[in-house]
Chain A
Amino acid sequence: MINPLKRYFLVKVIVLIFFLSCLITFNSAQAFELEDKVTTYTLDNGLEVIMVENGAAPIVHFRLMFDVGGVDEPEGLGGIAHMVEHMAFKGTTSLGTDDWSKEEELLEKLDQAAEAYFQAQADDLSEQELEQLEDEFQAAQAQVQEVAEPNSLMNLFDGHGARNYNAKTGYDYTSYHLTLPSNRLELFARVKADVIDNAVFRYFYEEVDVVKEERRQRNEDEPTGFLQEHFLDEAFTEHFYGRPLIGSMEEIENYRRQVALDFWDAHYHPNRAVLVMAGDLNPSEDIEIIKEYFSEISAGPVEKTEIPEEPEQTEERRRQVTFDAEPQMFIGFHKPTYPEPDAYVLDAVSAVLGSGRTSRLHRRLITEEEVAVSVNTYSSIPGNRYSNLFAIHVVTRDPYTPEDVEEIIYEEIEKLKEEQISQWELEKVRNQVRASYIRNLDSTEGLASQLAYYQLFLDGWENITKYPDKIVDVTAEELQMAVQNYLVEDNRTVAILKAESGGE
C-alpha cells in the first residue's frame, strides 16, 4: 500500500525545487493581505498609531510599546524600567485618589520619611533611632494608604471586561497591553493617556517589596531563571544585555520613588512609543478618539543612555553554578543582530539545529543518544537592538552530565561546518517559516507585539511581511559559512547548573 503522505512528500519536493518562485509569490499575496488591513497615523507629538482591522468579534486589543527597556537603565539602577512598569498600574492624579492635593503633600512627606530612614540605615545609627525612623516611615506609608487606592486601574478595566491587562519589560522595550470590548475604546484612550502624562507612583515602597518577591520567585528559587542570569552575566562583560533584567536585589532595595519618577519622566514620551490596535475598528473615527486624549501629551527630548559596546570575545568562557536541582546548561555564541544578513541566516541555523523533533539536536540528543530530555535553540537573546547571542539550552537526562551532552552538541555543530545541509532540510525550514508567518497573523496579540517591535526597531512594521522571504533566500552555503564564523569555541560561553552533591 502506498502511503499518501509518502507519495505527497515526493511530489512536494519536486514542486518545491522547480517552483520555488511560487513560494515567494504566495508570501507576497499574504503580505498584501496584511497591508490591506493596516492603517497608520502619526500624531503631532510623534506617537505612531497602527490599526489592524479584524472584525471577527467586537473586541479590540491595545498594545502600547515604548523603545525603553532594561538596556536603557543607568548603571546602578538595574531593573528600574521593570519597576516603573509596575508603577504605571498605580493610577493617576485623577484615578485612584480621594484627594490629589492632600495625597501630593503626603507623598512628599513619605519621600522625606523614606530618605531619613534609608540614610539612617546607611549611617549605621543605633537600633533605637532606626526603629523610630522606621515607625515614621511606615506611618507615612499608612497615611498615603488612607487617601489612595493601589489598584483602581485594574478594578476599572476589569469591570469593563478587560482581558489580559498586563505589561512586559524586555531589555529592548516596555509594552502595556489589554483587550477590551470594542465600545470601550474611549475608556482606553482616557485612562492610558492619563497614565503616560500624569502617573502617580503611589504605593511605591510596598511595590519594591513585591518586586523583591518577584525576583526571588523567578531568578533565585527557580533553577532555569537562576542559571540564565549567570549565563548572561558571563556572556556579556560590558554590554547591558549582561545585567539581570529585574535588577539585582541590592539595586531593587535602593530604589527611591523620586528616582523612579525621574526615569519615567525622562523616557516615556509619546514620540518614543507606538500604539498598535487590533480588532473591530473603524480607523477614521477611532483615530479621532485616540487623538482627543493622546494629543494632550507633549513630546519629550530623547535621552539615550550610553550603552557600552561588547568587546570581541577571544576565548571560551565557562561558569558553573551550584543549585539544589538536576543539571542543565546554556551555551551561547555572540552574533550580529538585524538587519545584518547573518542575523537572518542564524535564524535558519537555529531552526536546523533545534526546531522540532526532526531538528539535528533533538534527534541526536533525545532520540538517538538518549542523553537529554529537552533541547531548545534561540537565535537572538536577550534582545534584538544590539548584537546578541545564539543560544542552546539543554536539560540533561540522568545519568548524563552537561559535559557529556556538550561534546555531542559540538559534534553536530562541526557537521554543519563540514557539510552543507540537504535540500530537504532547507526546504523544511522554508516551509516552516512561511507557515509560522501565517500562524502569527492568526494571533492578534502576537501580531500586535511584532508590529510594534518592527515599527520601533526594525525600520517599520511593513518589514514583517518581508521576513519569510529573507529566510527563504538563505542558501545552504550561507548557512554553512555562518556556522563556521559564529559557532566557534573562542566565541562561546557555557553556563552549567549542578547540585552541590552532584557528580557522583
Chain B
Amino acid sequence: MKKVYITCIIAILIVTLSISASTQTPSDWEHPDEMEFADLEVEAREADKYTLENGLTVYLMEDSSLPLIKGRALIDAGGIYVSEDKVGLAELTARMLRAGGTNGIHPDKIDEDIEYLAASLEFNAQPMRALASISTLSEHKEDMLNLFNDILRKPDFLSERIELEKEKIKESIRRRDDNPVQLASQEFLKKMATGHPIGWFPTLESIDSITRDDIVAFHENYYQPQNIRLALSGNFDTEEILDLLEKTLGTWEPEDVEYPEIPDFDPEPEPKIYHVQQPIQQSIIFIGHPAITFDSEEFAPLNFANRVLGAGGDNRLFRELRSRRGLAYAVGSQLTQSFEYPGFFFTYAITGVQNTGQAIELMIDEIEKIREEPITEEELRDNREAILNRAVYRYTSAAEITFRQAQVDFLNIEPDYYERYIEQIQSLDEDRILTSAKQEFRPDDAIIMVVGNRASFDRDLEEFGTVEEIQLQF
C-alpha cells in the first residue's frame, strides 16, 4: 500500500517536472514566415585582368586587411590529355614540379626555404586541369614569385624523387579499397565514363610505366604561359606586382601546344547493376548516369529539380531516407557541372547492409516521382528563394573573386553566365522543371553501383536488373 502511494507521488512529481520543463515559444514572437528583412546591397567587385605578352593571364585584386597574399593558377595540363597506359602522368608531373628540384636547387632546400618563410606552394592535377596554390606573407612576395617562376619553367625532375613520388602514389592505390566510399565512387565513375579519360584511374602498372622522359615531355608541351590563368589577391600594390610578374613569368617564351586526340565520351553507357563484395556493415549505393553540360538550356531547370530531389535544404531523399526512415546518415543527389563533356547526375546513400534493397527502391522511387509529378508550390518558392538569397556569397573575398574570374575564362564560359542563370531561375515554373526532369533523369538508363556484403542484403540485387560482380585487384 505504502509502496503504491510512493509510486503515485513519484509519478505526480515526474508529471509536474515535465510540465514545468516544457516551455513554449513566447506568443509575441513572430513566425519567421511573417518576418520582413531590409533589402541588401550586394556590391559587385571585379578583379583587374591583364594578359602578359606571352599570353599568361593574371587576375589581381588588392586586399590590405592582412599582410597575406594568396594565389591560385589554373593550368591546362590535366589528365584528360594522358593515354590510358600512362594514367597518373598529369598528377605526377604536377607533384614533381614541387618535389623534384628546380634550377639546380635540391628539393630539400626548396622545402626548407618555403617552410622557413612560413609560405606554401603546392601543385596537383585533375582530369580537366592542373592547379597551383600559393600562400605567403606579403613581405615574401618577391621570393615566392621568383620560386614559382623557377618551378614552373625550370623543373629538374630529379629521378630519385620521381621514384619516391611514384611509390607514394602506388601506396595510395594499394590503399584505395580500404575506404569503402572512395572505392564505390571510383568504381562508379569508371562505369559512367567508360572508355574516356575521366573514367580512368591510375593503376600500379600505369604508374610503373611512367618514365622521367614522359614527365619532361608532358611538362614541355602543356606548361606554357598561354595555358595559365593566375589569380592573385592580398596585400600588394597592383602596379608593383604587375612589374614583378613581367620580370618573372613575363619573360617566358611561349611555344605551341600539341593536343592529342581524346576518345569520344559515351553519353549512354550500358545500364547495369554492379556489385563489389566487401565484408562491411554498410552498403554504399550510387545510382546515376551522364547528364548534360553546364551551358545547356536544361541546366537551370534540371539543377532546380536536383535541388528538390537531393541537394537542397529539406530535400526529398534526405527527408524520406534519413529523417523519416533512419536508413542513412549520408544520402542525397548531385548534378555535376561539366563543360566539354556531360556532367553526371546521381543519387547516393550509405545504409546498413540489411536495408540495401529498400534504399535502392526508395532512391529510384524518388527519381521517378520527380519526373512524373510537378514539384509543390512550397518547393518551388523555397528553393528559388534559396538560390536568389545566395547572391551575397559571390563577393565574400578577394581570393574567391579573382579565382572565379580565372575559372570563367579558363572554362570559356560567358562572363554573364551567372546573371543569365539567375534570370532563368526567376522565370522557372513547375512545368518547366518537370519537363526537364522527365527528359534528363533517366532511371531506366542508370548505372547502379553497390559496394557491400551481398549475403546480408535484404533483397536480391537481381530484382533490380542484371548484376555484374566486380573483382578487385587487391
Q: Interface residues, chain A, CB within 8 Å of chain B?
A: 3-6, 8-9, 12, 54, 56-59, 92-95, 100, 104, 145, 149-152, 154-161, 163, 181-184, 186-187, 190-191, 194, 197-198, 203, 205-214, 216-217, 220-223, 258, 261, 265, 293, 296, 324-326, 356-358, 363, 366-367, 370, 373, 395, 397-398, 424, 427-428, 431-432, 434-436, 438-439, 441-442
Contact = CB atoms under 8 A, between A and B. Distances in A.
A151 B313 CA distance: 8
Contact of B329 (A94, A156, A214, A436): A214
Nearest to B396: A57
Interface in B39-57: 39-42
A191 B25 CA distance: 10
Given A198-B24, A324-B178, 10 more contacts: A5-B105, A12-B117, A58-B392, A59-B392, A154-B313, A156-B313, A161-B385, A190-B30, A208-B326, A356-B115
Considering residues B32, B38, B278, which has the most beta carbons from chain A within 10 angstroms of its beta carbon? Answer: B32
Contact of A428 (B115, B171, B329): B115
Interface in B320-372: 322-330, 350-352
Considering residues B105, B326, B328, which has the most beta carbons from chain A within 10 angstroms of its beta carbon? Answer: B326
B32 A217 contact: no
B66 A56 contact: no
B10 to A, nearest CB: 14
- Dominant secondary structure of chain A at its interface with chain B: helix
B352 A183 contact: no
Contacts of B31: 94-95
Interface in B112-140: 112-113, 115-119, 135, 137, 140
Interface residues of B, number: 86
A209 B21 contact: no
B234 to A, nearest CB: 9
Given A94-B29, A183-B37, A207-B326, A58 B42 contact: yes
A187 B31 CA distance: 10
Nearest to A214: B329
B71 to A, nearest CB: 14
B63 to A, nearest CB: 8
Given A221-B280, A221-B281, A325-B175, A187 B324 contact: no
Nearest to B137: A435
Given A9-B113, A206-B325, A435-B118, A213 B282 contact: yes
A208 B352 CA distance: 13
A9 B111 contact: no
Contact of A220 (B111, B281, B383): B281
Given A181-B40, A431-B117, A441 B142 contact: no
B143 A161 contact: no
Contacts of A149: 314
B411 to A, nearest CB: 23
Interface in B91-117: 103, 105, 108, 111-113, 115-117
Interface in B379-421: 381-383, 385-386, 388-390, 392-393, 395-397
A198 B68 CA distance: 44
B84 to A, nearest CB: 25
Contacts of B270: none
A151 B280 contact: no
Given A163-B390, A210-B328, A432-B115, A94 B319 contact: no
Given A92-B25, A373-B168, A161 B326 contact: no
Contacts of A6: 105, 113
Contacts of A261: 21
A219 B118 CA distance: 35
B1 interface: no
Contacts of B146: 4-5
A198 to B, nearest CB: 5
B143 A4 contact: yes
B329 A211 contact: yes
Given A94-B29, A94-B31, A160 B40 contact: no
16 contacts: A12-B117, A150-B319, A154-B313, A159-B383, A159-B385, A160-B385, A161-B390, A163-B390, A163-B393, A187-B32, A197-B25, A210-B328, A217-B181, A223-B179, A258-B18, A326-B171
B382 A158 contact: yes
Contacts of B178: 223, 324-326
B382 A56 contact: no
Given A145-B324, A216-B352, A221-B282, A9 B116 contact: yes
A253 to B, nearest CB: 12
B318 interface: yes
B26 interface: yes
A475 B116 CA distance: 17
Considering residues A12, A56, A158, A214, which has the most beta carbons from chain B within 10 angstroms of its beta carbon? Answer: A158
B35 interface: yes
A155 B314 contact: yes
Given A4-B143, A198-B23, A161 B324 contact: no
Interchain residue pairs A-B with the least CB separation, the first 6: A158-B313, A209-B326, A161-B389, A435-B118, A94-B25, A150-B323
Contacts of A197: 23, 25
A137 to B, nearest CB: 13
B295 to A, nearest CB: 26
A190 B29 contact: yes
